[in-house]
Amino acid sequence: MKLLADMGISLRTVAWLRDAGYEVVHLYEEGLETLPDDEILVKARTEGRIVLTLDFDFGQLLAMSGESLPSVI
């Protein structure tokens, strides 16, 4: 499973997920800590990743986009 961790997700959680065998990229690690939420969705969709976030607005943004992907956890 490929995940894209938003800024609210700790790097410690990302390390734990990697140890568990998940392929996880954190926005901070890529220097994208200020990337707007709508662009995070585009990045995840392009890379085939699931967005891992604590923000409630991603579901609304996804619904408004009319897209079915990416999934958001």
| Model pLDDT for residues 2-44, shown as the tens digit of each residue | 999 999 999 999 999 999 999 999 999 999 999 999 999 999 9
Using the predicted structure, report yes or no on whether residue 63 has a pLDDT greater than 90. no
Using the predicted structure, report yes or no on whether residue 66 has a pLDDT greater than 90. no
Q: What is the pLDDT of residue 56?
A: 86
- Concatenated DSSP letters for 1-36? -EEEE-TTS-HHHHHHHHHTT-EEEEGGGGT-TT--
**Any idea where the domains of the chain sit in the sequence?**
2-65
